[in-house]
Amino acid sequence: SNVKTLDKLENEHKTYCQKVKNEAENLQKICRKLPQYRIRNKENDKNFVNTKPYRLSPLLSCKGNGVDLVNVIAKKRYPPLVPLSTTDVTKDKRDIDYYFKCQNENRAHLMELTKQMQYNVDYKKRMKDEEFRSSQRHFATWDRYWGRPGHGAPLSDTRRGHIDRMLFPQMVPVGVS
């Protein structure tokens, strides 16, 4: 199977080289036909550069002795660094005593934070209860004033009483008769 694979690769290489040669020949034919692409003759032109000693492409001879420009021009590309955190199994692991020590040092701080959290929860609950009681007093006052809950005509003066007495309780001065 290795021999077959090598033969197949060699045949593919030969067909590729043949295709490149054919394309080069076709290009030369086109250059001969078009006047702007004609190769200048060294007898007619003083600035003529003879390209015969230079090999323009290593593929034309199919020997592969030329320098591969991809290796010369291309930059080395390393895989991009992953910005996500990763674990390192080779890293020295801290023993369990380290974590107990940190836990003991932070215990007082954690207790203080827990107390603050509990105080905030209790404070919010007290404020909510106080707001509920205040709204109940408000609606009870208005229910007595109007006679029907939430709407309707006011009660008569005799049943209603004075709104000043309901809103502001009577203060009896001491020592005044």
User: Is residue 90 assigned to a domain?
Assistant: no
The whole-number pLDDT of residue 14 equals 87
62 shares its domain with 119: no
User: Is residue 78 assigned to a domain?
Assistant: no
The whole-number pLDDT of residue 132 equals 95
Domain count for the chain: 2
pLDDT at 13 over 70: yes
Give the list of residues 6+ apart from residue 21 with CB closer than 8 angstroms, or none. Answer: 60, 62
Last residue of a domain, one of 30, 47, 67: 67
Whether residue 100 contacts residue 107, with contact meaning beta carbons closer than 8 Å, is answered with no
The whole-number pLDDT of residue 6 equals 80
User: Is residue 174 assigned to a domain?
Assistant: no
Alpha carbon distance 28, 32 (integer Å): 6
The number of CA neighbours under 13 Å toward the Cβ of 34 is 8
For tokens 């043949």, name the residue: 18
Cα-trace Rg, the chain: 50
pLDDT tens string 121-165: 999 999 999 999 999 988 887 777 666 555 555 556 555 556 666
pLDDT tens string 61-72: 555 555 555 555
**Which range among 47-51, 111-115, 138-142 has the greatest average pLDDT?**
111-115
**Which range among 5-9, 47-51, 57-61 has the greatest average pLDDT?**
5-9
pLDDT tens string 23-36: 888 877 776 666 55
Residue 164's SS3 state is: helix
The whole-number pLDDT of residue 26 equals 81
Alpha carbon distance 166, 177 (integer Å): 23
User: Is residue 76 assigned to a domain?
Assistant: no
User: Is residue 135 assigned to a domain?
Assistant: yes
User: Is residue 16 assigned to a domain?
Assistant: yes
Q: What is the band of 112 on the pLDDT scale with cuts at 50, 70, 90?
A: confident
pLDDT at 94 over 60: yes
Last residue of a domain, one of 13, 48, 67: 67
Question: 49-52, long-range: CB within 8 Å, 24+ apart, which pairs?
Answer: none
7 shares its domain with 62: yes
Show the tokens assigned to 169. Answer: 């309780």
What is the average pLDDT across 104-121?
Answer: 85
Q: Which domain holds residue 157?
A: 113-167
